[in-house]
Amino acid sequence: MINRNILNKKNYNNLIQHFNSLSKSKKIWDITSQTWNDGTRDRSHATSLIDRRESFFNIDSLDLIETNASMMFFKNKNGNDFYIGPSFLISYGGANDIKIVDIDEWNKAKGSGTYSGSSKDIEDGFIHFSGEDQVKGTLEKYYSKQENLVLLKVETLKLDHLIWEQASDGNMFPHLYSSLDVSSIINEFEIILEEDGNHRLPDNF
């Protein structure tokens, strides 16, 4: 009689070995968005246009999970990362996300203990956050040439109502469907507006 536990363990270990070999590929791409292309208009044979970003996957662990099994890790350039084990899949957004706020609004929030969001946040029904690799694009799109900004590094694990959702441009962003408790802020950094109109981010946020 075949022991299913032994068989499943053997199959999973084989999967890990092949996954580890595949992770050593010269290039690994993450397709972050895909749109339909009018080939007749653009004189192209391509039926769709894609955006891609170089990424990676490997064998890794997650401090939040206690397991003796190896886990497959996928670095997602468009939202949460993924950890896959023998009987589970974890979508993990990391411990920290970023919020950009007006310095006067933030000082007021520190006085009350909570931040309810900017006027756009209130209009949309949630507080907009950015992943660490999305901050530059957020500044360019929503805060062009704006002064008196603060970058807040937020401990995401303390937030109960944070959801990653797809924006109109196809990218995934973290949205907080509650007010932000100031105790969840790890650090705050001033964002400098240079003379050329570009924002200078802190070196090690």
Residue numbers of the domain that contains 35: 4-92
**pTM of the full structure:** 0.57
Same domain, 109 and 38: no
Detail the DSSP E strand segments found in the chain: 29-36, 48-54, 57-60, 71-74, 81-84, 89-92, 96-102, 114-115, 127-128, 149-155, 162-166, 172-176, 180-181, 185-193, 199-200
> Has residue 168 got a pLDDT over 70?
yes
152 DSSP β-pair partners:
99, 188
Domain final position from 32, 59, 92 = 92
Higher pLDDT, 93 or 167: 167
- Compute the Cα dihedral for 101, 105, 109, 110 and give only its sign: positive
> Has residue 2 got a pLDDT over 50?
no
CB atoms within 10 A of CB 80: 16
Cα angle 96, 98, 102 (rounded to 5 degrees) comes to 145
CB atoms within 10 A of CB 25: 10
Is 113 a domain residue? yes
Is 205 a domain residue? no
Q: What are the structure tokens assigned to 16, written together?
A: 């890990």
Give the chain's radius of gyration (CA, Å). Answer: 21
Q: What is the mean pLDDT of residues 157-170?
A: 79
**What amino acid occupies position 35?**
T
Q: How many domains would you assign to the chain? A: 2
> Has residue 43 got a pLDDT over 70?
no
Same domain, 111 and 76: no
Distance CA 173, CA 179 (A): 17
Same domain, 32 and 85: yes
Q: What is the pLDDT of residue 163?
A: 84
Distances (CA, A) of 43 to 36, 50, 88: 14, 17, 46
Domain final position from 57, 92, 127 = 92
> Has residue 174 got a pLDDT over 90?
no
Lowest mean pLDDT among 6-20, 38-52, 74-88: 38-52
Is 124 a domain residue? yes
CATH of the domain at 120: 3.20.170.20
Distance CA 190, CA 125 (A): 26
Q: What is the pLDDT of residue 95?
A: 62
